[in-house]
Amino acid sequence: MSDAAKRKRLLFLLLAASWMILIAAALPQLELKPGIPLPKWEGSAQPSPIESQLDVSIPVSTFFKALLEIVGILVLVYCVYKFLKGVPWKEILGPALLITLLTLVVIVILFALTNSHITSEPLAPEVLPPELKREGPPLGSPPAILVWLVWIGLGVMIIVLGIWTSCLSMIVQFSRERKPDLA
């Protein structure tokens, strides 16, 4: 593995560790609340909730807007990547058009496989469900043992990261000492 790949991996691990530290720091302020109750289905002769869903219809404008956004994002990411690599823009144009065409074909095929229909009619306004009443007392803050477990896990992860970094630096130093000078 090259030094650049090792540096990238170490940077990723440090980024993941910092995210975990941020999550752990916010954990004591977490307040659990009861949510929406699960639907009741006892496996009777009625269809399951998934089977009883109606066909989805999407307006043409929404479909083409979403299609244009997906294709645009993919082509933009590809073009930025190639520009950063130093490729001239004339060599980027052909593959970008190919990506556009392939993305359009894949999205149309995936859309055809679902129970969705494109209509020119506007969508009916959605009726919001009534506000649910909370049943039971609030759940309160998470237990103290959970906070301790998260901090212990973070500590172990930081120790393992330090050991891994020191071992990696010793291996790199040892491999540099063993390489003969070519000059």
Q: What is the DSSP string of the chain?
A: --HHHHHHHHHHHHHHHHHHHHHHHHGGG--B---PPPPP--S-SSPPTTTTPPPEEEEHHHHHHHHHHHHHHHHHHHHHHHHHHT--HHHHHHHHHHHHHHHHHHHHHHHHHTTEEEESSPPPPPPPPPPPPPPS---BSPPHHHHHHHHHHHHHHHHHHHHHHHHHHHHHHHHHHHSPP--
Rounded to an integer, what is the distance from CA 1 to the centroid of its chain? 27
119: CB partners within 8 A, 6+ apart: 57, 58, 59, 60
- Going from N- to C-terminal start, the domains of the chain cover 1-26+141-178, 56-114
Q: What is the mean pLDDT of residues 3-17?
A: 83
pLDDT for position 95: 87
The model's pTM is 0.38
pLDDT in tens, 147-156: 899 999 999 9
pLDDT in tens, 66-87: 888 888 888 888 888 888 888 8
pLDDT for position 52: 53
